[in-house]
Amino acid sequence: MNMNHLKLKTAQALLACVITTILCGNALAASDADWPKKPIIAILPFPAGGSTDVFARAIGVPLGEALGQPIVIENKPGAGGMIALGAAAKAAPDGYTLLFSALTNQSISQALFKNPPADLTKDFASIALVGSIPHLIVVNPSVPAKNLPELIAFIKSKKGEFNYASQGNGSLSHLESTMFMQRIGAAGTHIPYKGSSFALPDLIAGNTLMMFDSVTASLPHIQSGKLRPIAIAAPERSPLMPNVPTLGQDGMKQFDVENLYAIFAPKGTSPAITAKLEREIRKILTNPDFKNRLANQGIHPQFANSEQLTVITQSEHAKWEKAVKSANVKID
């Protein structure tokens, strides 16, 4: 084979590669433009009925309408959100699986578990921050305490002979309880559940004494008189319960928590798809009617784009890793 013929063959091969690349790129672009063609699964780290579930379904309905395909909620509770995290990370990055993340909870679990199945900062594409839901201390009405000082005194009088509930090992509820007990110098028995919908019935029945829970999940039981609110673990009071002080207002300073929620996709999901999701989510979260409706359930819609969410996620991981080490929290 002479040199000219070799050059011709090489040029033809290169041209074929270029044509193939262009055709594949055009095919992918067309595929992304046609997305979605079927229902989209949103994996959640907590069971039905809790604040994460309520928030996800509230966003899922208008998002599905905007995309022309329904958002199917798939609850995978357990291990402080790690089961859902692992399942979402393993899903195909084709735009048909999303993770509705209880971001603060999963940042805490990331620091607590020795071998987490995935990492939000490494194994996912950020889409949007969607908001926050404050937590509060709730007790069974049989508890004589009406405020934080009275609750602390009552807990200390039990001399460790009491149970307290949480939304699960590695959850924000778990960490809040641990830090609270450390601050007041008490030690009861921690009973972890797979979310509020499992924990609240036992609290209402009097099998546990107290719990840090979301305003959204506890509110109906507070309104019906089945639970008593003690204090909000947030910088400000809830407009839904203006008479309930924050922990700081009732004497426990520096106990403010912003309980964040966000939406992610498995790493490798097309930027065109994630950008489309981000645009539609922005429209939903900035709709005044939507914001007012969620506010009545104790949910604070708050939008941040994908780039901002990436920074927020890294910050949450660093913040809660420090808090876990400082509190010396252990998995029960």
**Residues recorded for the chain:** 332
Q: Residues of the chain whose pLDDT is less than 50?
A: 3, 6, 17-18, 21, 24, 26-30
Give the CATH number of the domain where residue 284 resides. Answer: 3.40.190.150
Last residue in a domain, options 232, 249, 268? 232
Q: What is the pLDDT of residue 161?
A: 96
Last residue in a domain, options 195, 213, 232? 232
Structural domains counted in the chain: 2
**242 in a domain, yes or no?**
no
Phi, psi of 15 (to 5 degrees): -65, -40
Query: Do 122 and 271 reside in the same domain of the chain?
Result: yes
Query: Do 126 and 140 reside in the same domain of the chain?
Result: no
Q: What is the DSSP string of 236-264?
A: S--TTSTTSPBTTTTT--S-----EEEEE
Q: Residue 188's domain spans which residues?
A: 135-232
Query: Do 98 and 152 reside in the same domain of the chain?
Result: no
Query: Do 198 and 263 reside in the same domain of the chain?
Result: no
Q: What is the pLDDT of residue 258?
A: 85
**33 in a domain, yes or no?**
no
**5 in a domain, yes or no?**
no
Between CA 174 and CA 329 the distance in angstroms is 9
Between CA 207 and CA 84 the distance in angstroms is 28
- Three-class SS state of 27: helix
Cβ(293)–Cβ(54) under 8 Å? Answer: no
Q: What is the pLDDT of residue 12?
A: 61
Q: What is the pLDDT of residue 27?
A: 43
**210 in a domain, yes or no?**
yes
Give the CATH number of the domain where residue 159 resides. Answer: 3.40.190.10
Query: Do 58 and 142 reside in the same domain of the chain?
Result: no
Q: What is the pLDDT of residue 5?
A: 53
Between CA 295 and CA 244 the distance in angstroms is 17
**Cis status of the peptide bond prior to 70, with omega within 30 of 0:** no
Query: Do 128 and 146 reside in the same domain of the chain?
Result: no
**302 in a domain, yes or no?**
yes
pTM: predicted TM-score of the whole model, two decimal places: 0.86
Q: What is the DSSP string of 33-94?
A: HH--SS-EEEEESS-TTSHHHHHHHHHHHHHHHHHTSPEEEEE---GGGHHHHHHHHHS-SS
Query: Do 105 and 154 reside in the same domain of the chain?
Result: no
